[in-house]
Amino acid sequence: MDFQLTQDQREIQALAREVAQAEIEPHVAEWDSEHRFPRELYPKLAQLGLMGVCIPEEYGGAGADFLSYVLVLEELSRADAGVGVTVAVHTSAVTLPILTFGTDEQRSRFVPPLARGEAMGAFALTEAEAGSDAGALRTRADQDGDGWRISGAKQFISTAEHAGTFLLFARTDQETPGAAGISSFILDADHVRVTGREEKLGLNSSVTNSIVVEDALVARDRLLHDENQGFRVAMATLDAGRIGIAAQALGIAQAAYDAARSYALERRQFGKRIAEFQAIQWKLADMATEIDAARLLVYRAAWLKENGEPHGEAGAKAKLFASETAQRQTAEAIQIFGGYGFTKEFPVERYFRDAKVTEIYEGTSEIQRLVIARSILGLTERSFAVS
């Protein structure tokens, strides 16, 4: 058992931390207050290989392992969770599924532009009546000559208005209810119309859109994986994607702890630093312990994924614990800051707002518990997800 990162992993982690400190931290408060998507940032990340960290070099990526990618997400999210989720969806939810399930032609055609950051990816699964119950989606794809004609509406789609490539799920078997009749498709921005942008509690530097596909005709080669096997693509994507969201939550929790620790060493009350009061010491001790535990769960899940081992249960555990840790630790950070923590003068209120959604997307905490329970009890049926 080896708990040390490799030299390559440490270098990638350091690179992500440096770019986060130089290109994200000075601007994040402005992005948050203005609800602005920093489009100019992503070409800079792409130049450093951070838009395709774990994509093989032959497909335009950096060729690093999955744990290195998780380290990058943790560092980016430590600076700004909105940037973290944008990179996570782009990589985990779009680029990797095409790499895993695509034909040779699809991989050669679609993966390099994504890995090089020339196009951004969006994952389109969720609908108004198909969230955790992804098998209830109504978007349909009907065969039309040598292609497919697709119509439907999606919501809560990250980065849609900036995306060039969409991984979209639609029902190809209209007679079969549930997950069995769903297929996955690779669409371009021209196939999609953005109909709205959500005003969110947090992650204000990311964008979340509703979209429609209106009678779009796509070629047969846009079908990803086998017909009526799209739910398998979605589940495999979410199994890996949850590890990325766990890394995002871990980064938020670490940022909140760092801020609270520094503040406790500086803030003076009753003639001494508040770090000298046992009440504050215990808070920080609990925060540090839970963050370490979350990190071990996240890194283990990433290691299992990288080594081709089953990782659905491990990813669900990591996502469940890391997201709930982030919610607890950001609340504790505000408590340590006191009244200042409730203001926008300090970043802990932003961490608190950003942390909440990690308990919701890529599967709510309740869904994670179902995934874990089914795994430990040997129950294999899965009919739930969330994008």
Write out the catalytic residue numbers. Answer: 362
Rg (CA), the chain: 21
Let me know the angle formed at the C-alpha of 140 by 138 and 142, rounded to the nearest 5 degrees.
160
Q: How many CA atoms lie within 13 A of 311 on its CB side?
A: 26
Backbone angles phi, psi at 227, to 5 degrees: -60, 140
**How far lies 114's CA from each of 158, 209, 218, 238, 309, in Å?**
15, 20, 20, 19, 26
Angstrom distance (rounded) from CA 342 to CA 344: 7
Angstrom distance (rounded) from CA 15 to CA 242: 23
Grouping H, G, I as helix, E, B as strand and the rest as coil, residue 128 is coil
**How far lies 361's CA from each of 108, 126, 241, 357, 364, in Å?**
30, 10, 10, 6, 6
Task: Match 């982030």 to its residue by tokens.
Answer: 326
Alpha-carbon dihedral angle through residues 332, 202, 170, 129, given to the nearest 10 degrees: 80
